[in-house]
Amino acid sequence: MSGRRDFLKGLAGGVVAGFPTIIPSSALGRDGYVAPSIFEIPGAKDVAVEFHSLSKSFCMTGWRLGWAVGRADRIAALAKVKNYVDTGAFLPVQAAGAEVLKQSERLAAGYVAQFKERRDAILPALHSNGFDAETPRATMYVWIPLPEGLPSAAFQKRALEDVGVVTLPGSAFGAGAEGFFRIALTVGTPRLIEAAERLGKVLAAV
């Protein structure tokens, strides 16, 4: 956690000309891990605005709802800009999102438990099929390293065409994520285990 907190310190200390730093946090921490907020950093409340989305943490993908937290004058300025550049979501959808936030800790706990169960099931399956994946402490994804020299886009193509498994190549996120591919814990445990077994066949064939 210290690495992320140091990163946030750098952001809070590096704000130029009064522009707020914007950094999202995650509500899907597991195994006692809590993603730090930029507002834990001294002085950050004077310069930062923190954004979050309802999409992943509360299974509201497609509703396109999020929220911002910060000093009142920062949020007022954000609301003024947003009024000019776009429109808000359908009001009943916004009302539903507000109700979700009132119950956020209770609702998130259920999703955290579900993703933890799936993570704990797929990791042994990945390991037994030749992959060396680390245990993620948050989010709804598992990032899996590939053998050195194997392009992630090439593996993704083989996985889809040869065994019918959809993955996301690290190269889609830039050069820093090359050499990895990502899977989402958004389907049931049996399908995740089957996917790991199919992906192992691709790995064995490359």
Q: State the first-to-last Cα distance of the chain, in angstroms, to the nearest integer.
A: 36
Separation CA 190–CA 152 (nearest Å): 25
CATH 3.40.640.10 region(s) of the chain?
A: 2-102
Q: What is the third-level CATH fold of 2-102?
A: Aspartate Aminotransferase; domain 2 (3.40.640)
Q: In the structure, what pLDDT confidence band is assigned to residue 89 with cuts at 50, 70 and 90?
A: confident
In this prediction the pTM is: 0.78
- Look at 16-25, 32-41, 55-64 and tell me which has the smallest mean pLDDT: 16-25
Residue-wise pLDDT tens digits, 93-138: 999 999 988 988 888 888 888 999 999 999 999 999 999 999 988 8
Please tell me what DSSP assigns to residue 21: E
Q: Where in the chain is the domain with CATH 3.90.1150.10?
A: 112-205
Comparing 193 with 37, the larger pLDDT belongs to 193
Taking only the tens place, the pLDDT of each residue in 2-36 is: 666 676 666 666 554 455 555 555 566 777 777 77
The CATH number of 112-205, from 3.20.20.70, 3.40.50.300, 3.90.1150.10, 3.20.20.150, is 3.90.1150.10
Residue 143 backbone phi and psi in degrees, to 5: -100, 130
Q: Cβ contacts of residue 127 below 8 Å, gap of 6+?
A: 133
